[in-house]
Structure 1
Amino acid sequence: MMQARKTAHRWRSVLALVLLAPLVGEYLLGNTPISEIGALPLFVPLYGGGALLVREVARRTGRGWPTMLLLAAAYGLFEEGPVDQMLWNPHYGGIDFGLVYAGTHVPLLGTSVALLQDVVSMHMIWSICVPIALVEAFSRDPRRHWLGRPGLSVTAVVFAAGSLFLAAMQYAANDRFMASPRQWTVGVVLIAGLIIAAFCVGRRPTLPSTTNAPLPWRTGCAAFVLTSVYWIGQSLLRDHVPDWIMAAAWLALAAVAVIVGTGWSRRRGWGAPHRTALAVGALLTYVWVGFTHAADMGVPLATALTGNVLFGTGALVLAAAAVRSTRRHQESRHLGAPSESQARS
């Protein structure tokens, strides 16, 4: 009976993750309106399969969040490079990307530094890592993998098939644009470099800290502030600040996030409540950002706002449930339930 419950929980977790990744990455952000909810199955193999592969590969190899973050960054470059070719197409989706991102275009890279930064930010944080952290909040032991080898193999096949299908759709929809061999080479090298780096981190022992970790609500507030600052820069400052200064600001913001996050995660008492709080903070940023995209979604404003309200409300309910679940698991351990080692952050 206990084994049956564990199996059911794992499959619920898998289903939740493959659905949550596109719902956050596309619909909550406001890239796709609620009137196109029927397109969700098209996004599931790429977004959902990618998130599940990132999570399962990291957990099955005994690694944690540093590995997942780097694999998520590689996913972002893969989606917007080989799949969509947005990184290289100057007129992707009918938008003059070549002009919008011209200020930081680097011929050697074959794309724009600012575009690379945007792609990594959105997909690494919101398409992959936030959904993983929220679903793991409902698990007693987030280190356990959910899929066996057959399930992992099927996920990889579905992810590859979905990627090829969407790549063909984008190729046809964007006037059969095809990047140059140099652009493909640079893209593959960057993706491979991130994947290699992902397996060079995450298992090194760290010296224990005698300093207590901050309260979880403070880490959540920090995540909300940092991610909101990023989006405020995107919305209000990009047209008024030189492009390379914006790129440098992104690097500074990323450095602050890495330094502070790494330092906090090594402190005494850091655990699941903090990771859930970080995910919730970032999720709440997408709630307000989605409303700023309402006028640009290509549907009546009332339709766009209806979607913002529904998906935003769903995000708030999910955030509250994730925090409550994490707290319940913590309390059960403190009351003498079988202990679980904290997942490496």
Structure 2
Amino acid sequence: MKRWWPAVGLFFLAPFVGEFLLGNQPITNLAQIFLFAPMYGGGAVLIRESAQRFGLGWTGIVLMAVAYGLLEEGPIDQMLFNPAYVGLDSFAGLAEVPGIGSLTLLQSTITLHTIWSICVPIALVEACASRELWLGRGGFAAVSIIFVLGSTLLGLMQAAGFHFVASPAQFAGSAVVIVGLVVLAFALGRRTHRPVHGPVPQPLIVGLVGFGVTSVFWLESVLLPDGLGSEWISVAWWFVLFGVATVVVLRWARRREWSPRHTLALATGALLTYVWAGFAHARDMDDTSLTVALLGNAVFALVAIAVAVLAWRRLGSQTLV
């Protein structure tokens, strides 16, 4: 066995960030983390261990995280196929593309799961642990089985609960895209780039950039005007926002001066966005009182901040500068 405790930590941190810190689940449902962990946590652990085992780096992690997001909200939850999923009928007709559905919903799915469900938890746990493999072959196989069984169970529960099953073409199309992203992750992740010299901002600046970009994403509905084809303005804005951010971060990350502290700073900035966004999201819970929802998210926020502080301490730094 390898150092398996970081894998256990990631197994539970991924659903904690993805569901509870976001405000999707109240603190009274905390026990459901064991229901979500096989899918969220299993996916995050498999992605991290695959990237480490095959030398895919963060390029591979990000691409596999996109694939995970499409898998969860496509074949498993079927949210991308069912416009009426949990009241998401508001997405119906928004930037609708035949054969794809709502681009607005697709962009939100990719963003939330890529950044917060997978990449942020991996960066936080990696800062607390060594960067070697955490699991041996047996552990990797066990997590794979847990991921498949847990995801299948959730998929069956969702199909039965919403009385909705996507068409064979939708399942097949999404499978092709998901497999293609995984293949791309292995193809691009294995490519080596010679590091170049160049200025890299202090980790504090990188963290502020991460916080700023992800906060602007959440504030998009406030910043952009209504009407005049606003859904297509939103789609274009998403491409500009994350396109520019991706180019800038990739430019920094390929320089010799980029360090694990910069990676952790970027993840910390995104995590803090979920801290404030979770409070806004928690206010919309229908089956939980506002007091319980906000108190629960206060507890979740404190836990998230404590994890970030622990990550910085384990990385050997007390500050962001």
TM-score of the pair, normalised by structure 1: 0.88
> Aligned residues, how many?
316
Distance 1:269-1:39 versus aligned 2 partners, 3 A rule: same
Could you say which residue in structure 2 is the equivalent of 1:286?
274
Question: Does the aligned pair in 1 maintain the 2:199–2:257 contact within 8 Å?
Answer: yes
Distance 1:210-1:136 versus aligned 2 partners, 3 A rule: same
Once residues 91 and 221 of structure 1 are traced to their aligned partners in structure 2, the CA distance between those partners, rounded to angstroms, is 36
Question: Does the aligned pair in 2 maintain the 1:82–1:184 contact within 8 Å?
Answer: yes
Once residues 237 and 173 of structure 1 are traced to their aligned partners in structure 2, the CA distance between those partners, rounded to angstroms, is 35
Once residues 184 and 52 of structure 1 are traced to their aligned partners in structure 2, the CA distance between those partners, rounded to angstroms, is 24
CA apart distance, 1:261: 0.8
Question: Does the aligned pair in 1 maintain the 2:56–2:185 contact within 8 Å?
Answer: no
**Of 43, 64, 68, the match for 2:61:** 68
Once residues 234 and 268 of structure 1 are traced to their aligned partners in structure 2, the CA distance between those partners, rounded to angstroms, is 38
Structure 1 residue 314 and structure 2 residue 307: aligned?
A: no
CA apart distance, 1:208: 2.9
> Residue by residue, what CA displacement relative to the aligned partner does 1:147-171 show, whole Å, maximum 9, x if unpaired?
1111111111100000110011101
Question: Does the aligned pair in 2 maintain the 1:273–1:327 contact within 8 Å?
Answer: no
Structure 1 residue 78 and structure 2 residue 71: aligned?
A: yes
Could you say which residue in structure 1 is the equivalent of 2:94?
103
**Of 15, 19, 22, the match for 2:8:** 15
Question: Does the aligned pair in 1 maintain the 2:203–2:265 contact within 8 Å?
Answer: yes
Segments ≥4 residues shifted beyond 6 Å: none
> Residue by residue, what CA displacement relative to the aligned partner does 1:175-215 show, whole Å, maximum 9, x if unpaired?
2x111122222211211121111011123232332213211
Once residues 197 and 101 of structure 1 are traced to their aligned partners in structure 2, the CA distance between those partners, rounded to angstroms, is 31
Could you say which residue in structure 1 is the equivalent of 2:249?
261
Contiguous gaps of at least 5 residues in structure 1: 1-5, 330-345
- Aligned alpha-carbon RMSD (Å): 1.7
Could you say which residue in structure 2 is the equivalent of 1:340?
none
Higher deviation after alignment, 28-37 or 200-209: 200-209
> Residue by residue, what CA displacement relative to the aligned partner does 1:35-94 show, whole Å, maximum 9, x if unpaired?
11111110010000000000011110012101000000100000001111000012112x
Contiguous gaps of at least 5 residues in structure 2: none
**Of 154, 161, 167, the match for 2:142:** 154
> Residue by residue, what CA displacement relative to the aligned partner does 1:261-299 show, whole Å, maximum 9, x if unpaired?
110001222111001101100000000000101221120
Could you say which residue in structure 1 is the equivalent of 2:212?
225
> Residue by residue, what CA displacement relative to the aligned partner does 1:114-144 show, whole Å, maximum 9, x if unpaired?
11111010001000110000000012x42x1
Spell out the pairing of 1:204-223 with structure 2 (5 A cutoff). 204-223=191-210
CA apart distance, 1:239: 5.1
TM-score of the pair, normalised by structure 2: 0.94
